[in-house]
Structure 1
């Protein structure tokens, strides 16, 4: 970073924001997660009813509250109304215009609490009941409603159905655990200020550029807009006018508005600030997975009305070492002091010196320093050991030099999750007399998070054996069939025998070891089944459920076998992999994946003269622009 670029960055960081964006972003993520558990709010009659309630119940109530406080404590917005309000505020220009037309001022969220709060709700419910005696405060997400709602009060004509559908995919893009990390979010706030500063410079120089942020910036931008009065004040002070947020572009194919906008934003950012724009954990993850077809929030109130007293036995029967994982993005920025006469293209291989569950083979990235193309490689690995970087030529295939990077050193020393520096390569023996080659490497990474377990199930004649990634035995399971019920028996490597689960009269299974009860909740189609998994408490996102998931896999396998659907490898030592969760990033592809960059925060967001949202590149090992 040159001195002029440092000054630009310092100037960007002077931008004043009147909201604690780190704390607010965490609350924002919790709210999006709760909405995602109530997916009927994404489409259909529940969405229609939520929009109706928002326009004709919530906004008038909020208008009264902001005009003259109608209760001592904060107002608590119902979840369905908050979701529609959320999407409305993400068009800040339209939201401001609607509020001023209908209420004469911007309706802010000052002294308003989110639906995810568990306090202060009673007073709001009482006010709601007095104002709307025939409309419940909480919307029943499982009810069916007529679409013809009658109300004579004025309301916004903004297409809120389309706004919701554009924003619905956004949570998947920002749902990785690293997004809740303070250091990651602090870096995102700094980059958001840089993004606003870049737009300001474009406006000052009369440049029309559709600026497209990465998803870390986009999360902070969305969070800022959720405080409409502060957003208008802060952005007006920084830019001279309100920054519009246009989320109507969603086409990410090569050459489209989002694609070219992201390319230009990347170049402008790197020219202005002298640092890389692309970041690990902040790129487009691809399309969200297909939904389950059921409302997850409904499971909270079902199937756990049985009075059961679970056993405390076998809680520590299986002990697996918890691994952590981080995502790393590497870009080769430059190469110097190449031997004279060297011709042809170069590439770099990346591997670990030590064994690694996640990075167990070499990854390749072509060097495009002297072209207009931009490429980075992204992978996951454990945050320990050394990365080995090897510079090679294509023709002939030859190693030119190597260097290593200590991951522990990176994690402990780089407070902003990003670094860029020159590395001198140890030359190949055939080049020992040449001047050492140097490679400039830019790397970013996510904070380490707890990794998912990967367990292998091997079927034998009488039992199923479960092993870890290193093929170490964990436990073997066997079904015992009595006249009145069935039991799942576990045999540990030390020779112990334990009753792990017992079939219940309620057509489910009670897990003795883990305080859990599960059952077939719903048959989604002829191939897919949703299982209800209930306990006597809620579980955290990071809590491992190794034994319950192993037992569930065993029971599914047994059920398939009993139905005549057993696998061909039964009794032959075949195996299949089981994971206890969904990975935060797409599975690895080939060593080099060439892909066009793309934009979108669900629908893609932006400003025609300088602001957009979420453009990045599709999943795989390498990103190319």
Structure 2
């Protein structure tokens, strides 16, 4: 208790740090500015950047110096041109160098007190008039065609490199939750805590490189953009201006950033007793590759209320509010002496959750001394359920059934509603049941959340009347379809049928058919409606509100035009871009829908088509209906030859169907199969980092976008685990010589749990090759539990059992309680095999 009070005292002391800037309001303005610059990416490199640097040195700084003189040259605030403001922004983010340059060139620090940003909608007429008076040969707005002359009186600071370092920053803070008021208020408080650590280090003469999380870094940047206030505040706090070193970008293991972040994390948690890592504030990975270097300007048209209502009548798709969660189990207390053994916490949701429907396991920091953190997404409702389990070695076997020591719960709904006042919590939870004659067992959990946002709609297309070959199965209810002819059903994540799509008639699929082709939608009530019609050169969708046509470019391949301008690219682009080599699914299976607008001139990924598994993800409500119809049509382009080895672009080149028959159907035998991905993006668990025991090989550390995750205490075991977008996931409690990997999201393998000696394989993967292998005995091989992987769940397979199970859209399904030497697979949905239950 005394320690907790000490932590609270330290935190309250940190909050007393005086900042002479309204950082909350200023951070909002900075986000708006960065968003505007990102819509003008010519300022990131090339001739426009070089010209902007010239104008900044030759025009803006001299004008600012004149204006900030005691005899101001104009009334009211100055409004800098956007290009000059961007260079000024990057210069100020090296506060020590900026101060030195200003004093050398102008005798004082040039502040922003009398300056208003160009993006805040303020009148720039007075500034523009003054600019023209002082610089008649230089336009106020950037003109790259004008040649720049050499400058002598300018900073020698490498502004090109400074801009290059700052350009990726916006991607890290561009997510919608960062603008949330509660998130920003907590970021300001955490920034004060960050400064407090630096102050403590200075007082103890400790040379430590403190590394901020991205919420803290956003506020630190905001402070530096007010040079005079930053300088005064830092001198008062530290006796000098605090440097902002952004030159280190190598995040490799053991590098300066990595070790600095680890040290900062430890010092923060020891000082404040709070978790440093925070949901929505961690590194997102590298900035995605751009689709174009030329901005595409188009005006978006808002859908009418009538159109919105019409779409709702057509398809009642579920809308889900989701949160990202970062969970750490910090400690445990009052565990009876008779329950010795390895303690861990199994957590899940108590109510059905379409985003988080499995159990996860974390070690307890106070027990193992190593940080393990779970990142995942779930619906913004219901309760998180925690079960404390003890796993003690048995004399008769390698391991025995874990013993439950009790349960506790945490209400996500109550914490986040009705008004979100804080996004982080750390508390002791008492377990039930507990013995009346002893103190209740408690676990201390640390949770942080992002504000709730709409989760993308994920819908799946399944042929209602599947081909007759053996070994293929679809959702059970599909076979009972009310429609006699072959059609494609659109279902949601709960396998609820939303609408059925058909081509106008069977003849329309033949090469010799010359009549118009139509896509017919049949609603749940049995009502039929024409959703699309081919008019000879393009498809007209939804009563001509949208059109789908092939482009003359290789990439993008198609355009979907209507209330928005959407270009369809082959492969996974922008936010869907796979990280590293973890996701080995071929890009030929995918198409990305990218919106181009005034707000997103370089493109915003709004949807993803997965043709191999027949799914469409739509980030925006307006895309759901036209996206489904477009996916149904585009599938005909990619059918011939299957999806393996057939590039979307090359398929389009082969397709001559944009003639009389529209986008020609190329293969009747091809099919869209269902996908039940268990929400790949939702069930991400990253375990960070636990040490492997002696002779274990592989890698660990649970990195996000890293190659490997955590291998936990497997003697002689090899493999890796816990990675997010890494090659492998978590291998937990594997016995001697076990091999494989697990727990990965978008990795090769999933979770291998308690496999005995020589067991091989992997499990638990989302979009990985394998799923969960649970309690497989000696020499059992295979894998299980995969979502979109090759195999599914192998549960309690006896010695020498082989195969796999439980897969959704995998090659195999669930093998349950198969006896000695049994082989095969089962339980698959749209897989090659079905359920093998209690096979001898």
Which TM-score band (shorter chain)?
Answer: 0.7 to 0.9
SS at match of 1:76: coil
Partner of 1:606: none
Partner of 2:448: 444
Partner of 1:493: 524
Instruction: Give distance in 2, aligned partners of 1:120 and 1:486.
Output: 54
Partner of 1:602: none
Corresponding residue pairs, total: 592
Matches within 5 A, 1:172-183: 172-183=171-182
Q: CA deviation at 1:618?
A: 7.7
CA displacement 1:394-420 (0-9 Å, x = unmatched): 443413322221212222498322222
1:535 to 1:457, Cα distance in 2 relative to 1, 3 A:
farther
CA contact (8 A) 2:371 2:688 kept: no
| CA-based RMSD | 4.2
SS at match of 1:219: helix
Structure 2: any 5+ residue segments left out of the alignment?
393-399, 465-484, 558-569, 572-590, 607-618, 640-650, 656-664, 690-699, 705-721, 731-742, 744-840
Which deviates more, 65-74 or 361-370?
A: 65-74
Partner of 1:3: 5
Larger RCO (alpha carbons 8 Å, 6+ apart): 1
Say whether 1:544 aligns with 2:621: yes
Q: CA deviation at 1:242?
A: 0.9
Structure 1: any 5+ residue segments left out of the alignment?
600-616
CA contact (8 A) 1:84 1:164 kept: yes
CA contact (8 A) 2:376 2:685 kept: no
1:491 to 1:43, Cα distance in 2 relative to 1, 3 A:
farther
Structure with the greater alpha carbon radius of gyration: 2
Say whether 1:470 aligns with 2:515: no
1:486 to 1:158, Cα distance in 2 relative to 1, 3 A:
farther
CA contact (8 A) 1:253 1:598 kept: no
Say whether 1:78 aligns with 2:155: no
1:217 to 1:531, Cα distance in 2 relative to 1, 3 A:
closer
1:394 to 1:464, Cα distance in 2 relative to 1, 3 A:
same
CA displacement 1:38-91 (0-9 Å, x = unmatched): 333333333333323332233233333333544444333333322222211111
Matches within 5 A, 1:79-118: 79-118=82-121
CA contact (8 A) 1:345 1:367 kept: no
Partner of 2:427: 421
SS at match of 2:85: helix
Matches within 5 A, 1:349-360: 349-360=346-357
Say whether 1:368 aligns with 2:392: no
Partner of 2:409: 404
Partner of 1:378: 375
Which deviates more, 273-282 or 197-206?
A: 273-282
Q: CA deviation at 1:19?
A: 1.9
CA contact (8 A) 2:541 2:626 kept: no
Partner of 1:331: 328
Q: CA deviation at 1:155?
A: 1.3
Which deviates more, 357-366 or 498-507?
A: 498-507
Instruction: Give distance in 2, aligned partners of 1:309 and 1:410.
Output: 35
Which deviates more, 419-428 or 553-562?
A: 553-562
Partner of 2:285: 286
Instruction: Give distance in 2, aligned partners of 1:519 and 1:119.
Output: 43
1:434 to 1:523, Cα distance in 2 relative to 1, 3 A:
farther
Which deviates more, 532-541 or 256-265?
A: 532-541
SS at match of 1:475: strand
Instruction: Give distance in 1, aligned partners of 2:88 and 2:195.
Output: 24
Instruction: Give distance in 1, aligned partners of 2:327 and 2:374.
Output: 5
Query: Which structure features the higher share of helix residues?
Result: 1
Which deviates more, 586-595 or 402-411?
A: 586-595
Q: CA deviation at 1:385?
A: 1.1
Q: CA deviation at 1:453?
A: 1.4
SS at match of 1:232: helix
Normalized against structure 1, the TM-score is what? 0.82
1:587 to 1:407, Cα distance in 2 relative to 1, 3 A:
closer
Partner of 1:16: 18
